[in-house]
A and B are shown apart, each in its own frame.
Chain A
Amino acid sequence: MSTAPSYSPPPSGAAAGPLPAAAARTPLRLFLTILELAALGVIGSGLVGFLTAWLFGGVGLLFVGVGIVMLVGLVYALFGLGWFEIARLNGLYGFDLPALRWRPRERPGFGGWLLSLWRQAYNGRMWRAIANFAIACALGSLVLRLMTWFGWSAVTAFAPLFTGGDVDTGWGTSYPRAWAPVLGGAGAAAAVVGIISLALLHRVISRGIVATPDRNLDLSEQVRTTTAQRAGAVRAADVERTRIERDLHDGVQPRLVSVGMTLGMAQQKIDTDPEAAKALIAEAHTSTKAAITELRQLARGIHASVLDDRGLDAALSALAGRSPVPVALDVRLDGRCSRDAEAAVYFAIAESLTNAAKHSRASECRVVVRKRDGGTLWARVEDNGIGGATVIAGGGLDGIGNRVLAAGGTIRLDSPVGGPTSLEVSVPCAS
């Protein structure tokens, strides 16, 4: 199965890469824009008028009771319109904006529904999409006018063919026949330029209104993310402590108790049966060394000191060297990142490699680490194993998920049954 834990905040609106800009320049895109604007010009004024009538009708009939139903319906209609507008812009310009989503219900039941409805009614993003739609409709009607003008100009340009004498402008004046082709050509050209300008203007306006990240939305999104981060950090610490306690109690302590027991038996036998005592002491010795190794590994699981001293690259080399599954390491980093960022990425990779060795039956792993533009530390771990990894609450993957989240990063696990498994982590370098 494929699991993508929803740790990632939605991509920010202004994520328009080089692709849309290039696409907008293509004549086809321009042509489509003009067609859409014309279509909006035809239906737009009617639609906007209809919605306005709906609003006033709803408010007017509020006291009769029907009004409230109408207003509720209006919110849904407006939401639909906003959703359509954003989808339209994405389709047209490849803005890659997140689709408009209904405000999540924070409380169950009817009250929760009403609250979400109210929140949706003043949702800024929806209203800006609607504003953009209205502007597009206005631009569309201008485009329609210009198209008509183009038609008249074209007709005027060929006026000498079907009129004798001066050409009537329609405003009670006239001009000589010879001017007609020039004036008509200039008018048609001006109309074409006007239409193209309007189409380009539409893109600029849309980008300005809808594709700019909403500050308020960003803030509330940030608040939510921060809260989730804090909860994640607390949980990560909790899961980590439980794990350490388990490891100590189930790994090291029994071993030390067993050493104590063996030595205690040796002590009892040392006079009566020195040979047996010797064997017991040798056993305790071996067991002590194993306990030391276990402790060292446990300590490294808590904190990798090489990470602090030498940085991620060196720590990953050590990690890859210890992995039972062969690891192809591809690290390209210049400079260090914050301790939290490095630790989050390091432990995410360590957990992935541990899982690969324990569960995936993979024969090799590949680890890629990069520092990306904008100061993001990015890593990807892939194996060629059987997949099927899931996030279990309190498990290792949950722990690193929370840790990455706490560092302000995102994590994505893709592990269909049958494999392969890949884990992608990106963490802000300065977190």
Chain B
Amino acid sequence: MRILICEDSVLLREGLVRLLEDAGHTVVAALPDATELDETVDARDPELCILDVRLPPTFVDEGIRAALSLRKRLPQLPLLVLSQYVEERYASDLIAAQGSAGPLGYLLKDRVADVAEFIESVQRIAAGSTVLDPEVVAQLLTRRSQDDRMRSLTDRERTVLAMIAEGRSNQAIAGTLFLSEASVEKHITAIFQKLGLEPDESGNRRVLAAIAHISSTGRGGSPAAPSQTGTNR
């Protein structure tokens, strides 16, 4: 796979290059900042972009802004955003720009230490999935926990929802929770019903629907009136 990296720390940039190339991928470009990102993307035509949130010159959210502008220009380009800490707002911004359902990843930087899992996430994103860091999902769920419809979920259903948002397959969820795939399906149907989502969504679209729903009530295909409780802070 052809990958582009945009990361300011030399140590991590070179580490990522080595890690990805070791896993058999090609790093077509490794940039220290986002100034030449657009040109480089056009010239090298990567199949996936990995972006750090904090980039020079201000080290605030250059990476997010670069990701948003890439998303606008090339909606289908898979993006993986790496963050030093969970910033639910950034994730929400990215998800909100997710109208065209392009593949997206938002992971904590620490996750690269679990090499096999990280590589797998990269491959899943490139294949069209959306992968959110469990911590991001947890934050999103916490912020929505006052939502009436979220409260109507059982604990088990909430766990399943979190795992859907992380981009896991039914099979993976079943394996992790020691359930049969059939009962996972049953939970999912219940969740989607309670949240007012289309039950027959599958794969990435399902994940997006779930994320969009928990990150912003009233979006995510629910025709119901937006809940008034605890949605705006």
Q: Is the C-beta of B12 less than 8 angstroms from some C-beta in chain A?
A: yes
Interface flags, B69-110, vs A, CB<8A=1, else 0: 000000000000000100000000000000000000000011
User: Which residues of A sit under 8 angstroms from B115, Cβ to Cβ?
Assistant: 261, 264-265, 267-268
User: Which residues of A sit under 8 angstroms from B114, Cβ to Cβ?
Assistant: 264
User: Which residues of B sit under 8 angstroms from A249, Cβ to Cβ?
Assistant: 54, 84
State the main secondary structure of chain B at its contact with A. Answer: helix
User: Which residues of A sit under 8 angstroms from B9, Cβ to Cβ?
Assistant: 250, 254
Q: Which residue on A lies nearest to B115, using beta carbons?
A: A264
B19 adjacent to A265 (CB under 8 Å)? yes
Q: Is the C-beta of A255 less than 8 angstroms from some C-beta in chain B?
A: yes
Q: Which residue on B lies nearest to A268, using beta carbons?
A: B115
The docked-state distance in angstroms from the alpha carbon of A263 to that of B112 is: 11
The docked-state distance in angstroms from the alpha carbon of A246 to that of B56 is: 13
Query: Given A257-B112, A268-B116, do A262 and B15 touch, yes or no (CB 8 Å)?
Result: yes
Q: Which of A240-268 contact B (CB under 8 A)?
A: 246, 249-250, 253-255, 257-258, 260-265, 267-268
Could you tell me the distance in whole angstroms from the C-beta of B154 to the nearest C-beta in chain A?
A: 36
Q: Which residue on A lies nearest to B82, using beta carbons?
A: A257
Q: Which residue on B lies nearest to A290, using beta carbons?
A: B11
Could you tell me the distance in whole angstroms from the C-beta of A347 to the nearest C-beta in chain B?
A: 24
The docked-state distance in angstroms from the alpha carbon of A96 to that of B22 is: 75
The docked-state distance in angstroms from the alpha carbon of A262 to that of B110 is: 12
Q: Which residue on A lies nearest to B9, using beta carbons?
A: A254
Query: Given A249-B84, A261-B19, A265-B22, do A254 and B11 touch, yes or no (CB 8 Å)?
Result: yes
Interface size of B by CB at 8 A reads 19
Q: Which of B54, B113, B116 contacts A260 (CB 8 A)?
A: B113
Query: Given A255-B11, A257-B12, do A264 and B113 touch, yes or no (CB 8 Å)?
Result: yes
The docked-state distance in angstroms from the alpha carbon of A30 to that of B176 is: 100
Query: Given A250-B9, A264-B112, A264-B113, do A258 and B15 touch, yes or no (CB 8 Å)?
Result: yes
Q: Which of B12, B54, B59 contacts A258 (CB 8 A)?
A: B12
A260 adjacent to B112 (CB under 8 Å)? yes
Could you tell me the distance in whole angstroms from the C-beta of A285 to the nearest C-beta in chain B?
A: 15
A261 adjacent to B112 (CB under 8 Å)? yes
State the main secondary structure of chain A at its contact with B. Answer: helix
User: Which residues of B sit under 8 angstroms from A267, Cβ to Cβ?
Assistant: 115
Q: Which of B1-34 contact A (CB under 8 A)?
A: 9, 11-12, 15-16, 18-19, 22
Chain A interface category by residue count: 10 to 19
User: Which residues of A sit under 8 angstroms from B12, Cβ to Cβ?
Assistant: 254, 257-258, 261
Q: Which of A253, A264, A265 contacts B109 (CB 8 A)?
A: A253
Q: Which residue on A lies nearest to B84, using beta carbons?
A: A249
Q: Which residue on B lies nearest to A259, using beta carbons?
A: B113
A257 adjacent to B116 (CB under 8 Å)? no
Q: Which of B18, B84, B116 contacts A253 (CB 8 A)?
A: B84
User: Which residues of B sit under 8 angstroms from A250, Cβ to Cβ?
Assistant: 9, 59
User: Which residues of A sit under 8 angstroms from B116, Cβ to Cβ?
Assistant: 264, 268
Query: Given A249-B84, A253-B84, do A263 and B11 touch, yes or no (CB 8 Å)?
Result: no
User: Which residues of A sit under 8 angstroms from B54, Cβ to Cβ?
Assistant: 249
User: Which residues of A sit under 8 angstroms from B118, Cβ to Cβ?
Assistant: 264
A265 adjacent to B11 (CB under 8 Å)? no
The docked-state distance in angstroms from the alpha carbon of A249 to that of B113 is: 16
Interface flags, B124-137, vs A, CB<8A=1, else 0: 00000000000000
B84 adjacent to A261 (CB under 8 Å)? no
Could you tell me the distance in whole angstroms from the C-beta of B111 to the nearest C-beta in chain A?
A: 9
Q: Which of B9, B18, B22, B113 has the most CB of A within 10 A?
A: B113
Could you tell me the distance in whole angstroms from the C-beta of B82 to the nearest C-beta in chain A?
A: 10
User: Which residues of B sit under 8 angstroms from A257, Cβ to Cβ?
Assistant: 12, 15, 109-110, 112-113
Pairs A–B under 8 Å by Cβ, sample size 12:
A246-B59, A249-B54, A250-B59, A253-B84, A253-B109, A254-B11, A254-B109, A257-B12, A257-B15, A257-B112, A260-B113, A264-B113
Q: Enumerate chain A interface residues (CB-CB to B < 8 A).
A: 246, 249-250, 253-255, 257-258, 260-265, 267-268
Q: Enumerate chain B interface residues (CB-CB to A < 8 A).
A: 9, 11-12, 15-16, 18-19, 22, 54, 59, 84, 109-110, 112-116, 118
Given A258-B15, A260-B112, 14 more pairs with CB closer than 8 A? A250-B9, A254-B9, A254-B12, A257-B112, A260-B113, A261-B12, A261-B19, A261-B112, A261-B115, A264-B19, A264-B112, A264-B115, A265-B22, A268-B115
Q: Which are the 8 A-B pairs with shortest beta-carbon distances?
A: A260-B113, A264-B115, A254-B9, A258-B11, A261-B15, A258-B15, A254-B12, A261-B112
